[in-house]
């Protein structure tokens, strides 16, 4: 069984500061890893994904994440926070693709950005 | 533009009433999913369907029912048996490609409030 742990429910940073959102996973097979973002009262939007190959993955809006197998982690970072980054962020893990592949989501982290 | 349309956006229901949430996609995706979102609990899978006229229970199927009579449509009925139906409901879809990652496309969600 797969699982995702996102420690803490809320992160607050100042505008221009580094954003670091942590994600640890558990998977019995090589994982596919994802970060999604959700703005208030909207659906989820894919930020970035790791499948195979390069472990540093770049996504939209200046975000990136690094897959570290030894640490079973996939932390999301952005060098400089913008006010528009305020949202809820979900990490997810999936089996390798196939008809029965399903996503397992973490509980999400709310990012606040202070002026 | 292709996407997923969920309706209604907001819905109020009296206790003891069934209610149906609509989900329509024009992405030609094979698989469709229903998730429930509660604050601090992330996304939990209710039902999913990989092909027309077939669907499977997710982690929290009790009190819900679905149908998949057309590839484009996957309505969710919240029945009176669901003890705590007030939540944000998200519909998602994906193409079943063995070479592709398990990337979901989400609708904008439906917020159900039981009065």
C-beta contacts of B14-18 below 8 A and 24+ residues apart: B14/B114, B14/B115, B15/B80, B15/B114, B15/B115, B16/B80, B17/B80, B18/B77, B18/B78, B18/B79, B18/B80
How much is the average pLDDT of B29-36? 94
Residues of A in contact with B43 (CB under 8 A): 44, 90, 105
pLDDT digits (tens, 9 = 90+) for A8-58: 899 999 999 999 999 999 988 888 999 999 998 889 999 999 988 899 999
A50 token code pair: 């790791």
Q: Is B16 on the interface with A (CB under 8 A)?
A: no
Q: Is A53 on the interface with B (CB under 8 A)?
A: no
């Amino acid at each position: 069984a797969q699982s995702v742990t996102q420690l803490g429910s809320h992160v607050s940073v100042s505008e221009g500061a580094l954003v670091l959102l942590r994600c640890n996973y558990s998977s019995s097979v090589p994982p596919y890893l994802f970060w999604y973002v959700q703005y208030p009262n909207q659906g989820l939007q894919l930020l970035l994904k790791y499948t195979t190959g390069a472990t540093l993955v770049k996504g939209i809006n200046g975000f990136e994440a690094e897959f570290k197998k030894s640490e079973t982690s996939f932390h999301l970072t952005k060098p400089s926070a913008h006010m528009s980054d305020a949202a809820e962020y979900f990490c997810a893990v999936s089996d390798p693709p196939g008809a029965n592949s399903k996503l397992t989501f973490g509980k999400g982290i709310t990012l606040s950005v202070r002026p | 533009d292709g996407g997923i349309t969920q309706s209604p956006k907001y819905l109020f229901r009296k206790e003891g009433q069934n209610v149906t949430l609509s989900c329509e996609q024009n992405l030609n995706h094979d698989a469709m999913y229903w998730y429930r979102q509660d604050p601090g609990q992330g996304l939990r899978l209710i039902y999913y369907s990989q092909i027309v006229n077939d669907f499977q229970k997710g982690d929290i199927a009790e009190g819900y029912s679905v149908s998949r009579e057309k590839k484009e449509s996957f309505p969710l009925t919240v029945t009176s048996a669901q003890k705590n139906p007030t939540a944000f409901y998200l519909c998602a879809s994906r193409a079943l490609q063995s070479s592709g990652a398990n990337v979901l496309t989400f609708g904008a969600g439906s917020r159900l409030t039981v009065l």
